[in-house]
Structure formats: C-alpha cells, structure tokens
Structure 1
Amino acid sequence: MDDHEMLQDKPHRTVVRVGDTVRRPLQPWSSSVHELLRYLEGIGYPHSPRFLGIDADGREVVSFIDGESGGAGWAKVVDERGLKSMARLLRQYHDAVRGFRPAAVDGWAGRTAPQADDELICHGDFGPWNLVWHGPRPVAALDWDYAWPAKPIHDIAYALEYVAPFRDDETCVRWLSFPEPPNRRRRLELFAEAYGLESTTGLVDEVIAQQEAVWKRARRLADQGCQPQADWQSTGFLDKTAARINWTRTNRQLFEPAPGG
C-alpha cells in the first residue's frame, strides 16, 4: 500500500491517508469531536478512529482503519446480515457513550444548546458509507464531524432512512444496490430488533423528525457559510432533501404494519 492515498477530493474537503493516519480539514466545532474521540479511546471503545493531533498544515490527524467504506457500504446493508450488524454496532456505540458529559466549548455542528439529561452524543451521520466493513460486518464508524447531542432515537432514525430505506423503488434499485424493490417494513423491523428496540411503534414519525432536524441543521450551516452546506443550498440540493421528507410522509404505509395486521 502506498504511503499517500487520496480518500476524498472535493471542494472544501480534501481527505488524505498518510501512512497509517488520515488527515482531514478542521471544522469550527472540531475540538468537541476530538473530546468525544478521546473519551472513546479512554474507555477502550474499539470502533472509532483515534484522534492523534493537528499536523503542520492545520489538519486533524486520526488513525487509519483498514477495510471497505464509502460507496461500498450500500451493498453491505442490502444483505440482512450487514443490516443487523450495523444496528448492533450503533447500539454498542450508544451504550459506550451514555456516561459522557463533554465540555464541548466549541459546540457541535449546527447545535449550540447544551446537552439535555435524556440526550447523548449521537454520531449524527451514521450511514453505511461512514462505516468500515470487513465482509458483511462493520468494524468501525468514520467521519464524526456531525456528532451532536440528541436522543438515541435520532441516530436510529437517521440510519433507518438510508437502510430501510426511505427512498422510492427506482432509487433503491438504480443507486442503492438493491436487486429489486425492498421489503421496507421487514428491514425496519430487523434493524429495530437488532438494535434492541422493543417496538417499532412511532419509528416512521421519528424518521420524519430526524429528516427535518438534519435539513434544518444543513440550512443553518449554509447560512453561516459552512461547506458543503452552502453549495447544497445554492445548487438546490436542500430543496431535494425537503422533497424526500414529503415522500416519507406520503409513503409511510410502506414501513408500517397494515391496519389490523
């Protein structure tokens, strides 16, 4: 393996592997994320990168975790083994972080209010592309930039949006690696059971709530000039995100038990 590798080369976001480290641009709230990563390292949590400092170019340095990630993650969760393993990994993280009460002097992405008693620090972007996979099993979560205080259900609902998924049939087959339109209700139930939820009642409303929360966060960050959110706003991507929320509202029957069922 070469000593240097470009992992992501996008405007305003260049991510490079250098040896066994990853160099990433800092965000205004990065010190809060670093506090979280230090906490996870301190308790021996094995499924997150280690924060190693700031390099001479002003980039954060974290440990490199070998495996498949990015676009490869979509196919991993089509397999029900990967779907359930992802849910279990999320539960392991939530259990690990329940006792964490950070100083978070720089706040979090799109959130300045202090952490409430019934909140923990959610990953905030727990999608299959942000996991490192060994076969059908995720071994670590990456890209903690959007960690923020929220109830655990926020991470659950965020993940479900992408793995149930809350997308139309064409998107599922053309872009998300499904060989045919998925049984969304079954997949939602499998994820919830693997995470440890006792019921799926209210989960669709929770997905809608997190979709709206993430959309509002993106708009706040865009208004502050943060990237890539500012580009999302100028190119109409945030309007498409709003349309997805409407799709969820219109098609909620695909995810909920049939009346009398």
Structure 2
Amino acid sequence: MTGPEVLQDTPHRRVVRVGDTVRRPLHPWSPAIHELLRHLEAVGFPHAPRVLGIDAEGREVLTYLEGDSGPQAWARVVDESGLVGMARLLRDLHAAVREFRPRGDAVWAGRVAAPRAGELICHGDFGPWNLVWRGTRPVGILDWDYAWPNRPLHDVAYALEYVAPFRPDDECVRWLRYPGTPDRRRRVELFAEAYGLTSTDGLVDEVIAQQQQVLDRARRLAAEGREPQLTWERDGVLTETAARITWSRQHRHLFTGGR
C-alpha cells in the first residue's frame, strides 16, 4: 500500500487517499450516510463509493473513485454532453434511492426528520466539483455529507444553480470556464429534458428557493458551531451567498426568455 495522498487539507477536514481507499473525518450524520451508501451498493448503483468501515484513527474508509473532480470539473460541464450526462446521472441516482427508507432515528446535516410524502434522500450537494469525470462523462458522485430528505426537484434545482449557471457573465467566463455568455435558457432546458422533466415551468423559482434553503441550512450549521459553515459565516461567505440569491431574483429573465 502506498503512502497517504492528501486530497483536501483544511482545519476542519483532512481527506487522504491511502491506496484504493479514501479516509475522511466522521460527523454526527455519518451513520445515516453510511446506511445510504450501503443501500446504493445493495441495489447495484455503481457511481457511489463503498463504505469499508472505520480505521484506527476514527476516520471513515471509503473506496476511491478514479477520475477527475474538484476544480477540474467546471470545464467538463460547460460542454453540453457533460451537462446532459450530469442530469442523467442525477436521474439514475434518484431512481436508485427511491425505495430507500432510512432508520427512524437517522440524523442528517440538513434536518432531523424522516422523509415525508414525495421526498427521498437527496445528495444535497450535487455540483460538478462533487462528481468524478472521465472526459465529459460523469462516472461517480463524491461527498455525501449533505444528503438529506427533500423533494427530488431540490437536487435538480441545486445542480442548475451551478450548471445553468445562476452567475453573472463575467464570473462564468473568469471562473467557470465558459468561452463567452452561456445560453442559460437552453442549458436549463437540456438539463431538465435529460433528467426526465416534461416542462421547465416554475423551475427557475425552484432554483431560487433551494438557494435560500441551502443558505438557511448553512446558517443553522454555523449556529451549531459546525465547520466549514462557521468559518463561512465569519469570512462573509454567507453574506455573498445571500447576494447571489438577490442576483438570481433580479435576473430571472436570463433563464426564461422573458424580461
């Protein structure tokens, strides 16, 4: 077995690769996440890491998924084939978890409550950086810490915030690897169709609603002293997130074709 390779090193989370495994710190919601991952393994979903146990240092041990992720992922989803592949992967994930029923005492980062009617366990952080890519094909899903019970449309809206994207033109070009102004309306329509939605009516408002819901979750975790949300609050990241929600409300027309 080769020595550890540091994949992420922050004050609140040090993630290392050891051979074909990944070692990550545990959280209060880790038992629920492990139950979810074991369900995905049992139903044959091939795009999630497998839980191998807890190591001697008290870290969870997961299988390593080979491919590109993190900052490299942004360029992959600019291509429409990457966009469509991401939507289809999310569709397949939701099909795999539809029958999953977690234990009644399961604790999630977002809330402590069983799924309600019409809900399933969403990934909760389904952005390009948390996918494993081979070329423009997403082949794996990482970082399940923010999985929580919600409507499937929550994951769709969360992804669309980043892949439509709900960001100003200069940010799309400077940071998100777009060659120019993205055709946001077309990208929303392509993602929705690939996922299996028959209409995009109301979808922009769903994106804005999930932005607010995720901000509320981050504020709640910060209030509990959780990291990285506590640092985000201290460094003004949550204030910037609130400003992005305002931008989304003011620029709805970019996604709907209206004014």
Alpha-carbon offset, residue 105 of structure 1? 2.6
List per-residue Cα deviations over 1:143-171 (Å, max 9, x = no partner): 00000000000000000000000000111
State the TM-score, normalizing by the size of structure 1.
0.97
Q: CA deviation at 1:112?
A: 1.1
Which residue of the partner structure matches residue 165 of structure 2? 165
Q: Does structure 2 conserve the Cα–Cα contact (< 8 Å) formed by 1:50 and 1:62? A: yes
SS in 1 for 2:22: strand
- Quote how far apart the aligned CAs of 1:106 are: 4.1
Identical aligned pairs, as a percentage?
Answer: 66
Structure 1 residue 258, shift from structure 2 partner:
3.1
**How far off is 1:195 after superposition?**
0.5
Shift of 1:2: 4.9
Matched, 1:63 2:60: no
Structure 1 SS opposite 2:171: helix
What is the distance in 2 between the residues matched to 1:113 and 1:106? 8
Q: Is the 8 A contact 1:32 1:104 kept in 2?
A: no
1:11 positional shift = 1.4
Q: Quick one: distance in 2 between partners of 1:210 and 1:218? A: 12
> 1:257 is matched by which residue type in structure 2?
G
Pairwise CA distance, 1:4: 2.1
Letter aligned with residue 251 of structure 2 = N
What is the letter of the counterpart of residue 174 of structure 1? R
1:228 aligns with 2:232: no
SS at match of 1:17: strand
Identify the range of structure 1 (112-121 vs 122-131) with the bigger mean alpha-carbon deviation: 112-121
CA distance in 2, matches of 1:105, 1:170: 45
State the distance in 2 between where 1:66 and 1:129 align. Answer: 14
Counterpart of 1:73? 73
- Post-superposition CA distance 1:24-53 (Å, at most 9, x none): 011111100000000000111101000111
Using the alignment, how far apart are the partners of 1:106 and 1:138 within structure 2? 29
More off after superposition, 101-110 vs 22-31: 101-110
- RMSD over aligned CA atoms reads 1.1
Distance 1:207 1:55, change over 3 A: same
- In structure 2, the residue matched to 1:121 is 121
- Which residue number corresponds to residue 13 of structure 2? 13
Match of 1:40 in 2: 40
1:126 maps to amino acid: F
| Offset from partner CA, 1:192-240 (integer Å, 9 cap, x none) | 0111100000001100110011000000000000000000111111000
Query: SS of the residue aligned with 1:240?
Result: helix
Q: Runs ≥4 in structure 1, deviation > 3 angstroms?
A: none
What SS does the aligned partner of 1:149 have? strand
TM-score (norm 2): 0.98
Letter in 2 for 1:72: Q
Q: Distance in 1 between matches of 2:240 and 2:50?
A: 35
Structure 2: gaps (5+ residues): none
- Cα deviation for residue 114 of structure 1 reads 2.0
Equivalent position amino acid for 1:244 in 2: R
Q: Which residue of 1 aligns with 2:130?
A: 130
